Amino acid sequence: MSFVEFIPFKSLVCSSSLSKEAASSHPFSACDAKEQTDEALILEPLDLPFFSSENSSKSRKTERNVGAIALSDPRISKRPRNLPSKFKDFHLERKAFKKVAPLPPNSSTMNKRISPDSEIVSKQKRQKPVDVFLKQFGVQTPVAYSGSITVDPKCEEALKKAWTSHIRKHGTSYDTAEARRFIDCIESMTDDASDSYAEKYEVKTSNNPLAGNGLFAKADGEGYKKNQVIGVYTGLLTFAVDVEDKEYAFEWPETAFAAFTIDGKAEGNALRFMNHAPPEKANVSSVEFFYKGKPYIVFIAEKAIEPGTELCYDYGPEYWIKKGIEPQTLL
């Protein structure tokens, strides 16, 4: 005896070869043999709570598989629903979804979505690069302004080892007032030169006719007191052997960071415009400082500096030896 596959339809029609008695005695007796004719036997399945009878009656694929023809006016079972108590407050809801027509390939809306100016692109990526040197200091230069040190990825591991070696020898004590001033400057400097340190100096034409621009204490500012922090030199921290032109480079000889240099040629802050002066005329000095895994060069006022005074420091004899000229020629 063959029996049609049981599927939760409202109504199905089976082959008339199945008798009414056979259908009622079958294990799936939930299908009631209501009426038998020469054409078909009408069966009613269980009224299952987890199936939508409306959707089931529209399943053309299943109807073709069982060779059934859906009735145009299917009857709904009057059988009571005895659901488990845990489903007492359970309800199925059908939500209507709004259909959105596809956009034409050449529509302006589609073009806007894939445009770099689209809202899906972050605001940071849409922002045009700001020439900080021009905006804050009135200097036209291809150098990118940077308020902090940029570490070259290829020297990160070596930098960590150098820091470990430095800590073993010197420790990490920052209890002095000088160290706290240096740290405040390092953590305060910004990439748009809006920090309180950058606001105290300006870039103008140097008093030295052989030099170009120079760094000055702002004419309308307060100047500097002795030992006051002027700023931290910034740029690219990389291996010294990889820097051929060291015009704007600083190194830390005789330290754990002797293999590194900070190069301010392509990026840096306004301190790169500070010119040379012999020791007796220099009003700024440089100090080595090490903090949070990085070496720094901090500039401080060697003496009290009046507003409008050009800031200069001694480049050191090695700088001039490498250039092959006498420092006096730039005085």
Model confidence at 130: pLDDT above 50: yes
**Rounded (5°) CA angle 159-163-164:** 120
How many Cβ atoms are within 10 Å of 300's Cβ, its own excluded? Answer: 20
Q: What pLDDT sits at residue 31?
A: 43
The confidence score (pLDDT) of residue 319 equals: 80
Q: What integer is the mean pLDDT of 297-310?
A: 97
Instruction: Give the phi and the psi of residue 275 in degrees, each rounded to 5.
Output: -95, 170
- The residue count of the chain comes to 331
Residues 145-202: tens digit of each pLDDT: 999 999 999 999 999 999 999 999 988 888 899 999 999 999 999 999 999 999 999 9
Which of 18-32, 153-167, 172-186, 259-273 has the weakest average pLDDT? 18-32
Please state the rounded mean pLDDT for residues 72-87: 57
Q: Residue 238: which pLDDT band, with cuts at 50, 70 and 90?
A: very high
Cα three-residue angle 173-179-180, rounded to 5 degrees: 105
The pLDDT of residue 191 is 94
So what's the architecture of 132-330 in CATH? Beta Complex (2.170)
Domain extents in the chain:
12-87, 132-330
**Would you say the C-alpha torsion 319, 325, 328, 331 has a positive or negative sign?**
negative
Q: Is the pLDDT reported for residue 107 higher than 90?
A: no
What band does 295 get if pLDDT is binned at 50, 70 and 90? very high
In this predicted structure, which of 110-114, 179-183, 269-273 has the lowest mean pLDDT? Answer: 110-114
pLDDT band of residue 106 (cuts 50, 70, 90) is low
Band (pLDDT 50/70/90 cuts) for residue 323 is confident
pLDDT exceeds cutoff 60 at 104: no
Using pLDDT thresholds of 50, 70 and 90, give the confidence band for residue 5: very low
Mean pLDDT of the chain: 75
122 pLDDT more than 60: no
**Alpha helix (H) residue ranges in the chain:** 20-25, 53-56, 60-66, 108-114, 123-126, 132-137, 156-170, 177-188, 317-323
Q: Please tell me the predicted confidence (pLDDT) of residue 86.
A: 60
* Tokens read off for 103: 């956009």
Give 324's contacts (C-beta < 8 A, 6+ positions apart): none
Q: Identify the band that residue 13 occupies on the pLDDT scale cut at 50, 70 and 90.
A: very low
| Exposed e or buried b per residue across 152-183, where buried means at least 16 C-beta atoms within 10 angstroms of its C-beta | eeebeeebeebbeebeeeeeeeeeeeeeeebb
pLDDT digits (tens, 9 = 90+) for 35-71: 444 444 444 444 444 444 444 444 444 444 444 444 4
So what's the pLDDT on residue 168? 93
d(CA 331, CA 314): 12
Output 17-25 pairs: Cβ under 8 A, ≥24 positions apart. Answer: none
- Give the lowest-confidence range in 45-54, 86-95, 250-259: 45-54
pTM of the model: 0.61
Classify burial at 11, counting beta carbons within 10 Å of its beta carbon; exposed 0-12, middle 13-18, buried 19 or more: buried
Task: Count CB-CB contacts under 10 A for residue 220.
Answer: 7
Q: Which residue has the higher pLDDT, 208 or 311?
A: 311
